[in-house]
Amino acid sequence: MTTDIDATAGKYLRDKYAIIGVGETTYTRGSGMTTRALGTWAIKNAMDDAGIPASEIDGMMSYSGNDSTASPMLAGDLGIRLNFYMDVQGGGSSSEALIGLAIGAIEAGMCETVVVFRSMNGFSQVRIGGTGARASVPVGGDALHAAAYGWFSAGQNFSPTFMRHMYDYGTTPEQVAMVKVIHSEHASNNPKAYYKQRVTVEDVVNSRMICKPLHLLDCCVETDNATALIVTSVDKAYDYANTPARILGVAGRVCKPRIDMHFQHGPISTVAGHYIKDIIYRNAGVGPEDIQCTGAYDAFTFTSMLQLEDYGFCEKGEGGDYVSSGIMRLGGERPNNTSGGHLCEGYTHGMNMIIENVRQLRGQVDDYCPVDGNGNKQHTFNYAEPAAGGGCRQVPDVEITQNLGWAMPGTGSSLIMRKG
């Protein structure tokens, strides 16, 4: 038995676990399937990707907001015998947190290999925010923060934060619109993306206002899809088909003070990343300057900007400059959401951005580039649209990526991976 370790040290599990397989369904509106069927499809794709048989998966985790299906159903459907499963409540920021918990479950000896899935008919069944308001709402807790004033959706909740950032730092709608512009460029080279059309800053700021300062094109797409990824220890990770994406560090559902009403505490334009950075970079042993590719959650254009800023990719208040500088673009210094993310590819509460970074680290992003006789992508690194002779979205020589997961301004998660 090993006794010479300090299990309380944040670095203890650094680089000891990996993601070995990723998979997803199509990103559609109107899947015509149950979330149960979608979930089995995504897990099957992740198992096929890893080349792992069902008999070697013994853990399963998922998250949902009463809009999914539970692990025991999917395990049964797929003939997987589980030694561990757990289905939790939650949306954005859960993906990274569950990867951390999967590591913990394996480390505790409860199981050996865990599949994490998210299945949702996010367009055709349970939409973001919902519309079914109750006529009477309890006033316990923060109810005067919601229905009494017509608040139901994420955009409504977050907009005051976005407005205050514009007021405090002079951030402009045109700067923030560049998040959508850049993600749309990336999506144009992604055969899976729901929206593949490139857009301009003018398209964004001239689209109809949903909740000032959010125009329609500042908001993510809502889609039906399931996504899955497989976590195992580095001991086993090299037994399967792909170069593993090794996990350097994870931080899960880190919160600002008083998230009951994060709006009330401290600067409203500061988000959870301000706190996460102290955990994730310590755990991973790297800093923002080492990250070559980010997956900053883009439920809205603003959420990517606020996170990148508070994690330290730029100075506080300079997020508008950062996102409009071209740094985040394919071919730029640190591309963000190279799949098109939630704004363009599909809405998965964060899973697709992790899947994308896993593929980036393998050098095998599924773009329009040709495939050689061994089934490997021959990337051209031409990031123009396919019709213009481009179609690539592989970042050259990616060694380290980071995901910045978002639940709301007050809560977030993060995951740093390296090429195995």
Partner 1 sequence: MADYTKPIPSPDPVSQPFWDGAKEGKLMLPRCDDCNRVHWYPRVICPFCHSMNIEWVEATGRGTIHTFAVQHNKGLVARGWGDEVPYVTAYIDLAEGDRMLTVLKGVDPNDPDSIQIGGAVQIEFEEASDDVHIPFWRPV
Both tokens of residue 228? 């899955």
Question: 169, 132, 175: which is closest to 152 by C-alpha?
Answer: 132
179: number of Cβ within 10 Å? 28
Does residue 374 bind partner 1 (CB under 8 A)? no
Least gap, CB of 83 to partner 1 (angstroms): 41
DSSP letters, 325-373, are TTTTSTTSSS-B-TT-HHHHT---TTHHHHHHHHHHHHT---SSS-B-T
- Cβ contact 284:269 at 8 Å: no
Least gap, CB of 91 to partner 1 (angstroms): 16
Least gap, CB of 150 to partner 1 (angstroms): 3
Least gap, CB of 246 to partner 1 (angstroms): 41
Closer residue to partner 1, CB minimum distance, 196 or 265: 265
Least gap, CB of 133 to partner 1 (angstroms): 3
Does residue 8 bind partner 1 (CB under 8 A)? no
CA dihedral (331, 336, 338, 341) in degrees, to 10, reads: -150
Closer residue to partner 1, CB minimum distance, 222 or 356: 222
191-220: contacts with partner 1 (CB under 8 A): 208-213
Does residue 376 bind partner 1 (CB under 8 A)? no
What is the C-alpha separation between 407 and 349, in angstroms, rounded? 8
Stretches 255-263, 288-296, 318-326, 340-348: which one binds partner 1 (CB under 8 A)? 255-263
What is the C-alpha separation between 63 and 83, in angstroms, rounded? 18
**Active-site annotation holds for 297:** yes
Give residue 413's identity as a one-letter amino acid code: S
Does residue 259 bind partner 1 (CB under 8 A)? no
What is the C-alpha separation between 420 and 417, in angstroms, rounded? 9
Closer residue to partner 1, CB minimum distance, 213 or 350: 213
Does residue 261 bind partner 1 (CB under 8 A)? yes
Residues 17, 194, 195, 347: which is the catalytic one? 347
Both tokens of residue 206? 């001239």
Closer residue to partner 1, CB minimum distance, 213 or 341: 213
Residues 85, 194, 297, 383: which is the catalytic one? 297
Question: 233, 218, 319: which is closest to 271 by C-alpha?
Answer: 319
Does residue 81 bind partner 1 (CB under 8 A)? no
Site string for partner 1, 123-162 (x = CB under 8 A): ------x-x-xxxxxxxxxxxxx-xxxxxxx-xx--xxxx
Taking CA atoms, 275 is separated from 80, 189, 252, 344, in Å, by 38, 34, 11, 28
Does residue 368 bind partner 1 (CB under 8 A)? no
Just list the catalytic residues.
Answer: 297, 347
Q: Can you give the binding site for partner 1, defined by CB under 8 A?
A: 129, 131, 133-145, 147-153, 155-156, 159-164, 167, 208-213, 258, 261, 263-264, 268
